[in-house]
Structure formats: C-alpha cells, structure tokens
Structure 1
C-alpha cells in the first residue's frame, strides 16, 4: 500500500504574504510517500521463497496489515499536524491531530457550548479539527455568507441528510441551489402564505390555545406549552407541506411519523459526525439503533403523500400545488415528482420542532419578566377579534419580543459549515487555504458583547426603532436566526406567521400566566443536536384560573 500526503498551497501574491510564507511554501511542496514493504522484508530476513513465506506469515498477516495501516494513518496525522498551514490559528492542541473532542461535544448535545467556550478562550478564529475553523468575526461572517461569495456548503450536509438526491437544504452547488430556490420561492412567499394558508394557520393556533386552556383547567392551571406547540406546528406543517392534517391537536398525542422522526433527527445529527457509528448501527438488530438510522423508507412513504396531494385541488392541496407546472414553463430548472417528495420531507422537518421550540422560549422569556408580560398583554388586547397577521406585524413590542427570542433562543443556532473557495482567503490576521471548512455559529455571534451589548440579557428594546438600545448596523448584519445570505430558510414566512399568531393568541386569552416552579433555568438550558431543545423537554406554565371562563 502507498499513502501520498501533501499540502499544496496556492500561490500568493506578493501583496499578501503570510508570516513564515517561505517555510510554508517549502513544506507545502513536500509529498511524503509511505511504502509498506512487510512481505519483502520478511523474504529477506527468513530467506524464504514466496510460498514458504506465505505459510510462515499466514497467522500474523492480518495483524501485520492492520498494524501497518494504523502506523500509516498515524504518520499521516502527525505530518499534517506538524506541517499544516492552519497551525498559526489558535485552538486546543488536540485539534491539530483529531476532531475527537469536537465529536464528543456533538454526541453529548453540547457543540454550541463547546465552540462558544473556545471562542471566549482563543478569540474569533479557532481551529476545532485538523481541517476546520470556527469563525466568530463579523467581517469574516459577511465574507463567508455574502451572496456570490464562493463559499459553498460543505459535504457535512450530505452526510447528515442521507438522500438519493440533493435538496434545497443539502445542495452544495450554488447555481443548482439558486435554480431550485427560484422554483420554490413563490409558494413560500409572504403574499402566498397569507393569501392561501393564513386561515389554516390561524385555525390551528386557536385550537392549540383552546387545548392549553382545557388542560390547565383540568390540572390546577399547570400545562406544558411545548407539547401543544409541537402538536400545532406538526399539524400546520403536515397541512401546508403534505396537504394532509395529522390531527395531533385533536388527539393530544403525536402520530407514528412524529415519533420516528424525532428519533431520526437525533440519529442524523450523531451520524453526520460519526458516520462509522451510523454504518454499524444500521446493521445492528436493536430497535433503538434501527429508529435512529433505518427509518428512511417509513418516512419516505409520508413524503409521497405530498406528491399525491400536490396534484389535487381543494382541501388536500399543498404549497407545492402549482410549482411543478410552473417549472415546465421556464428555464429555471426542473422539479420532478421525486424531487417534490424529498423537498417535502426536508421542509416538514425544518418547520416543526423549530417553531415549537421557538414559541416555547417566547413564552418562557416573557413570563419570566412580569412587567414585560403585562406590556405585551396590553398591546395584543387592543387587537380586533378578527385580527390578521398583517395587523400583528405592525405591533412593535410583539415584533421585538419575537426577534429577541430568536437572538437568544433561536432553534437552529449551530453550525453553518462552508468550504473556502479556490485561491484561499484572508480572514482577520490569517490566511485560510482553499478546501478548509470554516464554520459559523449564530449562538456565538449573537452573544458577542462587542456587537450585542449585555448579550445575555433578554432586551426586546434592541429591536425597537426608537430605543437607545436599538441594534447597530454591524449587529443587523450578523443577526441570522434563519441562516444567512442566499441560504436563508425558505420557510421563514411560515415560521414568523406562526410565531406572531400563536404569541398574540396566547397572551390575549391567557393573561396573568406565570412560569411553573418546575420551569427552571436548568430545565430550559439547551441541548443541541443540530437544532436546540430544552434539556427538560418541557416548558410548564401556570394559567391564571380566572381566564378559564373568559
């Protein structure tokens, strides 16, 4: 076997020399070739003919081969660690050799906390693995996520979502992504959502608050709002994306699809970081590992519902109803039935837990501040009974509360990995070679005190235009609860609509509510498996009994 290892650093112009540029260039020109000559050495040592040698070696061949392969990989890791052009970037020493520490943080649900701690210790640029840099610098973030920047999504997305074709979420090619997004954009525009789907969303929101009040009345005022927001969000997504209502609000429990999807999402997050573990788990006969990593066929059956309903009209139609027909008219790409199935599956996932978690943190943040609760209740109390989302969009405090919740408690504050384009890039004081993965985290940039003063304080006034605390232009540029640049979440208008409608409905019909004693900071602390969720998997509140008969 032969392992060729080398770094080839693109030529730098004389205007942009890096420190130790000469030595880096010499090292980059090196190619280490490791040759395994075990059989030849044995021939020489024992003076054996090849057949005799094979007989002598047979009991030891597997061990020797494994040992040699291990030695070769170890030599490769050491070479990279000693000669990598990323060595100037600070970070934990183990990151030069391995990403094992990062993987441990991922599988324990602590990635965003681990990365944030590294930024606090080492600064805005931190090496977190042999070929990955975490970036928490406002200028660099704009460079990475700017439209047309050339920083494409990394292969991590393909690893996380194992589908036979790329979807809008996993596409790494910018041109393909732009064509697909253009196809889907009209169906997910604010005007289309309001015209065709606001009535459905409002109906689900009202039913969710009905159920919250009913359960509270039966339970001494206590109710878990996370549970009911999850039912609501899944029913909205199933209706809009699949064209088929799951009716989880009416039943008060999730269906098989949601139960299996929850496990599969956790499995996807772990499998993306530990693909070998996923590969082994897929072959194990245990129900737990099967639910984590062998559910594609089951989930796919539900996605096919989207295609069937897309071709219908009336109650069963969905947001994809006119997309395929429009795709055939122009030159913006095509979308066949299989594409619709895969996009529907991905978009359903994106629109369920994210909305439910964000809504729960809105309730948590407001109820933890009685004065803010009273002000918000007063604002939404002035709405007419037949209020619409357009009315809610004009309420300054409601808007500010939602945006500040998304800053501190956005459901997807984790990694957005991108690949440095050809020619490399200068970021801060460092040159980052092409092919390096650079990863940004909304969790960290939203907590940078240089950009968001008093970052850990929940201050809706940041988003009030006349406030002294209003966001600076620099803060607005890196505020990214729904992603950044051309990759911003396609379904954000659905998400904002649900957040506004549900928040207004709750505080109009459940005034005087408070947090239950069980809803502590520890219970509401994040766990992070790509998306976030409260560690306690609940958000219990107490509804004032006077509202039960209102």
Structure 2
C-alpha cells in the first residue's frame, strides 16, 4: 500500500467533512430559527472536531496497516536480525546519533551472522561473496540516495553521484591528475613541505610544553596540503597553529551531514523551525560554496596549474567541461575527503605503534636506513612501514562505516536471500576487517600479515579482496594515492625525528582512542597526546 495516495484521499475527505458539517449546520438553523447563536456554533464546532478526529484516525490506521503489511509480508523477513528490525529503524538511528553505528552493526553481525536485517528496508552484509556481488564493477548495485542526503547539494560531486554513467565521465577527468605518477611529479614537494613544517611545530611544542596533541597537528598538516591542491591557496593553519573559520565550519557541516544523511527529517524540521544550533550543522552550504570560488579563480589563472583543477580541465579538453559550480562542489568535497581522513589515520598509526614497542623499534630501524634525499617512491618498498600503514587502515581506517547500495530494479539474490527493489544493502569494513575466519586474531596489530608470506597471519586472496579502507569497486576513493603519499611521508618523518624521545601520555587511554563514528571516525577523546620521556 502506498501511503501518499491514501493520505491524499483522506485529507480530501477531511476537507469535504468540514464543508459538509458547515452545510448541515446552516440547514438546522433554517429549520429551527429559535436556536441560539452560541449553541449553533457549539454544534458546528463539535461536528467539525468529530470529523477531523475521524479522519486523523483513518490516516493513523493507514500508517499502521502499511507498517503491518511491510512487517508481515516483506521478503526481507527471512533475513536474520533483531525482532524489531522488520518494524522500525529507531534503534539504528539512535546508534547513529550517539556516534556508535559501526559498533551497533558489528554487534548484530556477531550475534546473527553475516546477513542481518538492521531496519525495515536495509540489510547489513559481512560476507566476502556478498561484498563482491554488491560492489563488483557492473554489479547493478548503485550508490543509494543516502549519499545525496549526506552532501545535501543541488549538484552532487563525484563522491555522491548515484548516476553511474555521469560518475564514470566525471571520474575519468580526475584519473590522471590523481594518479601516482602525476602526484609525485607535481605535488610531492608540497606534501613534504607541509609534513616537515608539522613535525617542526610538534618538536617546538614538545620543547616548550613537554606534551603535544598529534591529532591537532596532523589535522593542520592535512588541511594545508588539501587546501593547496584543491584551492590553490594554502590556509596556512600550520603557521597559525589553529584551524581557520572555513575548517571550523567544515567540521560542523561534516557532523551535520553524517546525522542528516541518516535522519533527513531533521533537515525538514530545521527549515520549518530554524534554530541557531541547527544552523551551525545544516546551513553552511552557501558559505562553503562561496569560498569555493577561490578554487575557480585559481583554476583559471594563467600561472600554470596553480591547483589540481587546472590539470583536471586540461584532461577534459575533448570531453565534458567542469562548470564553475562543479569546481566549487568538487573542491569542497575533496578537501573534506582529504583532511580528517588522513589526520585520523596518522593519529591512530602513531598511537598503535607507540603502543607496541617491538613494532616501534623495528619501524625506527627501517626508516633510519633511508639515504638522504630519499623520494616517496623509495618508501613504497619498505615492508615494515607499509605493513604498519596497512594494518592501521585495517583496524582504524577513517571511513570504516556503511557503504549503502541500492538493489537493482529487478531485485537481487544475495547470500541466499531475495532482496526486493527498494532495499538498501550495506557493508562496513569495520566488520569485514575483523572477521576471524579471514584475518586471524583480528583485533591484534600484526603488521607481518602484509609482508611475511610464511606468517600464520599472512593474507589470503579473500582477505586481499575485501580489504577496503578506501571503498570498493568503481567507487574507490579518488585520493587513494595522495593519502598513501601523505601517510608514508608523515610516518617516516615522525619515526625518524620524534618517536625516540616520546611516549604516549597518560591521557591517551583506550577509552580516549575508542572510535567515534559520524560517517568518518575520530578518537572519542578528540585528541591523542604524546609526551617527552623522563
């Protein structure tokens, strides 16, 4: 039963009821001229109220019947899950609001298995075969409308596009500028410059205060790298030692997007009852897009590829051109994608390595052997460094949560269950990367998984196939090579210049580092402090 149709008819009935009751009251007055005006108005009001209540009861009945029908006849009823999953998504949404979605869904997988119904029209999949079927190229599963709610813009960027053909055209334009070769040729020097400055500022703070928050400085470093590449205009947050208003607004917006994507009704209520607190979360797009004109102006400058969009436009000479509004959207989106993600990953990397002295000693010994003038390409061959990075991304990747996909219009059979059209199938790397049948001792930080073929923890083909810290299939993150460049250069710098003299601060507890999840993750304590030894 389609609710909008019946509700429209019922509201019309409500309207007719009001008119009918009013006509009846007029007839009564004609027949009984001695009826007092107050009594007449009272009878009219009573009739109107009775009609309204009856119609509202009918509307409520329609809603209840619709819920009952869906709960009793939906093919998803065969999918395991909590009893309430077929009736409501409220427990799931509460987990979202509390920043606990990945933990909530993971707990359900542990209890019910690899296929779990987590809401009336959504299932969570934690199975390698299901993962491949959903995210494989040409699978027919497309990005769900959730992504459009996430960005809440009139024209989505490459990240949020749900139209596969439009996405393929747009992604092709970015392919070469974001390739490993192009980044090393044009932007490696920028990355190294910002990393060196971040390390210098950390060392200065350690000398004066004896303690430093690495999350803060990695965030400033990633911000300056991303703003230089995307806008052609560095924000200079490393020099200032704090984020600017643009980044503060961006951070609030990211939180609002994570909540708004899961609870789109909140945005509707905000438009009806505008509140200052809601404004800070949901109504920043004009400000962000206006700042995006900096990227447009620098793209058009005659100074020779001042930002990465100049390279993108060069690639698009014979194809689709980016409009100014597209550049604004893409610059903002790529800045979001390249800032908190890199900063959070580096923060967890430092925390994990400093928590494992044997790993720390091995990594320091490896990077100390690098010659002067080494290049980022040289770092790609270091087994311990890259094992540390990959194991960090497995356990603490910045975007380990849902990757929602819309089931094809013909429906699909996944894992032995029929998923009707309109169903959303989601996977989360947080759970896939913690499957003990794929990753032995999944909660243990074992970098030898990634380079030691004789290790009992070595990766098999299945593990390699479902390793997805940057997404999967044709929607893998555009900035993957930039991310690895920043992770390698920054990690090498930290463990050559700083790590030997520091240890984790007592404030850096397991509770402080628990993963808080609003689309991206962050340490629950919103800091990761290290201090000088002794």
**So what's the TM-score if we normalise by structure 1?**
0.89
Residue 11 of structure 1 corresponds to: none
The answer to whether structure 1 residue 393 and structure 2 residue 383 are counterparts is: no
Q: Which runs of structure 2 are paired with 1:256-295 in the superposition (5 Å)?
A: 256-282=245-271, 284=273, 286-295=275-284
Residue 371 of structure 2 corresponds to: 384
Q: Judge conservation of contact 1:511–1:544 (CA < 8 Å) in 2.
A: no
Deviation at 1:35, TM superposition (A): 7.0
Q: Deviations over 1:153-182 (max 9, x none)?
A: 000000111111121111111111111100
Is 129-138 or 55-64 further displaced after alignment? 55-64
Is the partner of 2:308 in helix, strand or coil? coil
The answer to whether structure 1 residue 101 and structure 2 residue 91 are counterparts is: yes
Is the partner of 1:514 in helix, strand or coil? strand
Q: Could you say if the C-alpha distance between residues 67 and 385 of structure 1 is closer, same or farther in structure 2, counting changes exceeding 3 Å?
A: farther
Q: Distance in 2 between matches of 1:150 and 1:156?
A: 17
Q: Which runs of structure 2 are paired with 1:336-347 in the superposition (5 Å)?
A: 336-347=323-334
Residue 20 of structure 1 corresponds to: none
Is the partner of 2:279 in helix, strand or coil? helix
Q: Distance in 2 between matches of 1:40 and 1:500?
A: 67
Q: Distance in 1 between matches of 2:531 and 2:269?
A: 45
In structure 2, the gaps of 5 or more residues are: 28-42
Residue 160 of structure 1 corresponds to: 150
Residue 518 of structure 1 corresponds to: 507
Q: Judge conservation of contact 2:122–2:424 (CA < 8 Å) in 1.
A: yes
Residue 485 of structure 1 corresponds to: 473
Residue 349 of structure 1 corresponds to: 336
Deviation at 1:326, TM superposition (A): 3.2
Deviation at 1:511, TM superposition (A): 3.4
Residue 443 of structure 2 corresponds to: 456
Q: Deviations over 1:24-45 (max 9, x none)?
A: xxxxxxx9999749669979x9
Residue 85 of structure 1 corresponds to: 75
Q: Deviations over 1:118-152 (max 9, x none)?
A: 00111111001111110001001001100111100
Deviation at 1:339, TM superposition (A): 1.0
Aligned pair partner of 2:518 in 522, 526, 529: 529
Q: Distance in 2 between matches of 1:291 and 1:506?
A: 35
Q: Judge conservation of contact 1:420–1:436 (CA < 8 Å) in 2.
A: yes
Q: Distance in 2 between matches of 1:315 and 1:234?
A: 23
Q: Deviations over 1:439-491 (max 9, x none)?
A: 00000000011111110001101101434122100000000000000000001
Deviation at 1:436, TM superposition (A): 1.1
The answer to whether structure 1 residue 246 and structure 2 residue 235 are counterparts is: yes
Is the partner of 2:124 in helix, strand or coil? strand
Q: Distance in 1 between matches of 2:504 and 2:531?
A: 6
Q: Distance in 1 between matches of 2:387 and 2:197?
A: 25
Q: Which runs of structure 2 are paired with 1:266-345 in the superposition (5 Å)?
A: 266-282=255-271, 284=273, 286-314=275-303, 317-330=306-319, 333-345=320-332
Q: Could you say if the C-alpha distance between residues 240 and 61 of structure 1 is closer, same or farther in structure 2, counting changes exceeding 3 Å?
A: farther
Aligned residues: 515
Q: Could you say if the C-alpha distance between residues 212 and 96 of structure 1 is closer, same or farther in structure 2, counting changes exceeding 3 Å?
A: same
Aligned pair partner of 1:371 in 352, 358, 361: 358
Q: Distance in 2 between matches of 1:114 and 1:477?
A: 24
Aligned pair partner of 1:190 in 168, 180, 188: 180
Aligned pair partner of 1:233 in 218, 222, 226: 222
Q: Judge conservation of contact 1:226–1:539 (CA < 8 Å) in 2.
A: yes
Q: Could you say if the C-alpha distance between residues 309 and 65 of structure 1 is closer, same or farther in structure 2, counting changes exceeding 3 Å?
A: farther
Q: Judge conservation of contact 1:5–1:76 (CA < 8 Å) in 2.
A: yes
Q: Judge conservation of contact 2:14–2:51 (CA < 8 Å) in 1.
A: no
Aligned pair partner of 1:58 in 26, 31, 48: 48
Q: Could you say if the C-alpha distance between residues 33 and 241 of structure 1 is closer, same or farther in structure 2, counting changes exceeding 3 Å?
A: closer
Q: Deviations over 1:280-335 (max 9, x none)?
A: 234545432211011111111221111111112548811111322432314xx332
Aligned pair partner of 1:412 in 385, 390, 399: 399
Is 426-435 or 355-364 further displaced after alignment? 426-435
Q: Which runs of structure 2 are paired with 1:104-119 in the superposition (5 Å)?
A: 104-119=94-109
Deviation at 1:336, TM superposition (A): 1.6
Q: Distance in 2 between matches of 1:367 and 1:323?
A: 40
Deviation at 1:428, TM superposition (A): 1.8
In structure 1, the gaps of 5 or more residues are: 7-30, 546-550
The answer to whether structure 1 residue 499 and structure 2 residue 481 are counterparts is: no
**RMSD of aligned alpha carbons:** 2.5
Q: Judge conservation of contact 2:219–2:340 (CA < 8 Å) in 1.
A: yes
Q: Distance in 1 between matches of 2:14 and 2:380?
A: 75
Q: Deviations over 1:202-233 (max 9, x none)?
A: 0000000001111011112x110000000000
Q: Which runs of structure 2 are paired with 1:414-453 in the superposition (5 Å)?
A: 414-453=401-440
